[in-house]
Amino acid sequence: METRRITILSAGLGVPSSSRLLADQLAAAAEHRLADAGFEVKVEVVELRDLAVDIANNFVTGYAAPRLADVIAGVEASDGIIAVSPVFSASYSGLFKSFIDVLDPKSLDGKAVLLGATGGTDRHQMVLEYAMRPLFSYLRTRMAATAVFAGPQDWGNTDDGGSPLSSRIDRAAAEFAALLAEDQPGRKPSALESLPFAQLLAGISGGR
């Protein structure tokens, strides 16, 4: 059974966080879709607020503390990313952007990405198209066509699977799962593929 690794990047600042709640629902829906398609799914949740000091220090020192370095390595090794940020001043949060800035820009090349955002009014929902999507387009990721915004009204009633938010989550998760079901261009080569050409040639010659 093939495995798909998903990293959740939640930039919510509160506890509990609506950004984390949305991210969890997106991940659960995507995991269900992938499991139905025959994939094993491993999900890692990254709460960026817990890394705020390490991220700031990385900018000053140029060095990633061990905890931050582990998270960066996990993001780079993942097949897909679910990125959810609260909206501040008509854009993603500074914490969210700061974390993206400490990554190697080439490390997200080809990765599947599902975008989400939360805010206090539906007027903020265009942040997904005017801020977050251009950012991940610059990083050459493969994004699900549907991005999901959740406002206060989306958490105010019992969600029985038929609400507009549930419908958006299900559609976005299906698109994200379809991207993950494809061959993953962002995956690191296997040990055999990473061998020097001379060593590969020697192995072929020795087998004659």
Separation between Cα atoms, residue 146 and residue 128, nearest integer Å: 10
Q: Which residues of 118-146 are buried (b: 16+ CB within 10 A; e: fewer)?
A: bbeeeebbebbeebbbebbeebebbbbeb
- The domain ranges of the chain are 3-206
The hierarchical CATH code for the domain 3-206 is 3.40.50.360
- Phi, psi for residue 91 in degrees, rounded to 5: -155, 180
Question: Going residue by residue through the chain (208 aa), what tens digit of pLDDT does each one get?
Answer: 899 999 999 999 888 899 999 999 999 999 999 999 999 999 999 999 999 999 999 999 999 999 999 999 999 999 999 999 999 988 999 999 999 999 998 999 999 999 999 997 777 788 999 999 999 999 999 999 999 999 888 876 544 555 789 999 999 999 999 999 987 665 554 333 444 555 545 555 454 4
Query: CA 118, 119, 125: angle at the middle one, nearest 5?
Result: 80
